[in-house]
Structure 1
């Protein structure tokens, strides 16, 4: 453009925001349509004012690009959007407007360009995104300096201000929204035998907990497992912020109740917790519940759902190994303020959970370059509490020589898995059966 485009965007944006605030329009589609009309009018007003002042005016093409840039600052992610659109990008970390780190799916990390002209502008951008993106408007201010938001259909955002030297922003880009178990075989996460085992476990309505560390691919794995569910089966997804997006995969899941928790206002009123949503989901005739991540007091209702009407449910949580999941659940129950006795909690786990699947992630340099791989490391079959306090387990799959899970002990429910289509000849102890040719 022959004029200062960024300056023009900064000049027009407050007027668009004011128009949106005054309109009181509700509903994502209605807000966006109103915004498009308002932006068109305000850009035309901006061009007319420049012409009357004897200044250079943009061409019709530049005028259209200016309107798109203003729209993108509100309903996309402005200067961050090209990175969000890049299929090779996995994470974007912003430590102030001019310290931007881009992490790619192959493990590379690079310094990116500034995403705003100042930290104040960065904060204003985040406020707009919090107000006009996501299912419900969220506040980002000194009073509410923490923000967690699902943006679009493949992006999760976290932001901080006031509690850090400079405003910080992290974006997690979901790169495998359509992944199924076959895709995970092709990328080395599973082998053919494990793929067949897991598919049968889902079809046999086994309750599954997926564990791993940050960035280990738990959400992608949950989506891939869910792809094995009959398309007509009624599901509920319960999440802090939308990440699973099963409700958008209408060819794969035709009947999905997608639930997203809601934060309270500055007085703490109006919050809807994941705990409440899990309880609500059971009243809406769902056959299975999939929880994006169990973090606190939603643990017990999730276990109760698995133990009663939600057989075949799936959830994810952070844990360092499959064997540590029970201790992790105990910590989560305590952090959520639950007053359930330890032995009662462990008995509930033993009755509710069938399998714990633990994911591994290796990121290192070797002579061939950077190695970045995610894989299933182990699977435990969970059994009712035995002689000890914790539930008993069968170490069905254990880490092999390279860390990837290999068969170890035949699960007690093998007959059910065979009835669901699993070929027991694929369960060869200590052997990785490889991927597809």
Structure 2
């Protein structure tokens, strides 16, 4: 791949060790890539193992009870949660209420979260110590050190974090969490395998209350979750995860949490992981620099957001970027100093004269206002429906936009976006929607997700890169495969349209493309294998 003319900082970790595509998550991530699992570090000195002496100290600063990120099950290197210390969840609920009531009396609304958390730690330490003393006064055994730590952690998580979900979010090896009713918890690990997790609530009603509590304190403002609003989508604070939940319209409450573990990622990283060839990477890098508008398509968890981050890494450092998402996922604002990240916000309450609920903020409105903010790149994140029109407007502005959508192939992505455009606006015909998209989109990059049972690993690879242009009367567009699906499912050189040969000036390895194309036609190679 042709070197990027920009100076790029060294990657945070060896790309070959990144687990997103073929291997479990490493446990030794650098400090800036992981969240401490114990919120009590610094709250006091470590307790002694002696239960009586520990009650006197009454602090919690040891490791998280029962959380073993390096645990091994069935002889494989799979990290699992092994909560060896059982937690009395009824006691957790009781202590949570006591601390919550105490904070309600002590603090006014709007008090800084850190102040509340520090006071909460002190209250939890005191109340757990008292509970242990009460047990001994009743002739029962006091809490052991491990039991106290587990209890304190659980109460703290229920008050200030994600409750019983928090240990799963703290485990770097858990990639996706799916909950079908409070008892059925399914965990997908980084290698693509699934495990059954412990319940995250004692009833479906408690699970709903947990989601409602989380939704009420998201960083982007409270998001309603009730019988009148049976769906909720939100970004979980401080976790790099996105939560989607539904209840009342499903037989049981359903919660799905997706985690994004590769945030600072480059095309070079993805080449080393086998997602695409160096030649394909050089083509995409040049396309971004040349301000081509790109749609990344694929199935859920195929790596669309990860590839989009890598593409955005190719935007020159001095450019001013704006992102527009229903829930923050790209996270470019955490990687660059010149990014404005807009997030849609649902309204609540009655509908006003303008037909909108109070407090509602849409992607379309943010995009329209962004033109006053001196942005050189407008990037609309995931397109699932009406977001297609802001995407088209961003691409029509000529900034070189990038978006993602769910589809089974590059051609299917076009059909999907046409449908979204027709559903998103009244009186939009198929012809108009197709014409708009054909003029707006330059390239579609499709990612395939497969599972290799021999290696027990997920395989993510770029399978197609097609050029889109206005054209054929029947379809309304022309789709030219620049990289087509090879025998092994990889994207291999197929044809280079004349207008894309100019990308050589932006770093495209045109010579390598020609060599691989010729080798493929003579049967000596099917393209670069991942």
Matching residue of 1:109: 194
Partner of residue 404 from structure 1, selected from 490, 493, 505: 490
1:314 aligned residue: 402
Q: Deviations over 1:172-220 (max 9, x none)?
A: 1112122211121122110111111111111111110111122211111
User: Does residue 262 of the first structure (1) align with residue 351 of the second (2)?
Assistant: no
Are positions 1:94 and 2:179 aligned together? Answer: yes
Q: Which of 406, 419, 429 is 2:505 aligned to?
A: 419
Q: What per-residue deviation string (whole Å, max 9, x for no partner) do you get for residues 108-142 of structure 1?
A: 11111122222232222222211123421222222
Deviations, residues 352-407 of structure 1 (Å, cap 9, x unaligned)? 21111111111253xx3435211111111112335445222221111000111111
Establish whether residue 34 from structure 1 lines up as the match of residue 116 from structure 2: yes
1:138-172 per-residue CA deviation (whole Å, 9 max, x = no partner) reads 22222322121111342111112222232221111
Equivalent residue in structure 2 for 1:204, among 270, 290, 295: 290
SS of equivalent to 1:127: helix
Structure 1: segments with no counterpart, 5+ residues: none
Distance 1:233 1:400, change over 3 A: same
- Superposition RMSD in Å: 2.8
Once the two structures are superposed, the pairs formed by residues 15-414 of structure 1 within 5 Å of their partners are: 15-17=98-100, 23=107, 25-26=109-110, 30-41=112-123, 43-45=125-127, 47-48=129-130, 51=133, 54=137, 66-151=151-236, 152-249=238-335, 253-267=336-350, 268-308=357-397, 310-365=398-453, 368-414=454-500
Contact 2:292 2:401 in 1 (8 A): yes
The corresponding residue for 2:17 is none
Q: Is the 8 A contact 2:124 2:156 kept in 1?
A: no
Kindly indicate whether the alpha-carbon contact (under 8 Å) linking 2:418 and 2:437 is maintained by their aligned counterparts in 1.
no
Consecutive unaligned residues of structure 2, counting only runs of 5 or more, are: 1-48, 52-85, 351-356
Larger Rg: 2
2:528 matched residue in structure 1: 434
Deviates more, 1:185-194 or 1:133-142: 133-142
Deviation of 1:105 (Å): 2.2
Choose 318-327 or 352-361, whichever is displaced more: 318-327
Q: Judge conservation of contact 1:377–1:404 (CA < 8 Å) in 2.
A: yes
Instruction: Describe the SS at the equivalent of 2:276.
Output: coil
Separation of aligned partners in 2, 1:111 and 1:64: 25
Q: Deviations over 1:41-79 (max 9, x none)?
A: 365256447757945766899767644432222433233
Normalization by structure 1: what TM-score? 0.88
CA contact (8 A) 2:128 2:152 kept: no
2:202, 2:429 → 1: CA distance? 53
Tell me how far apart the structure 2 counterparts of residues 161 and 345 of structure 1 sit (CA, whole Å): 34
Corresponding residue pairs, total: 428
**Secondary structure at the counterpart of residue 413 of structure 1:** helix
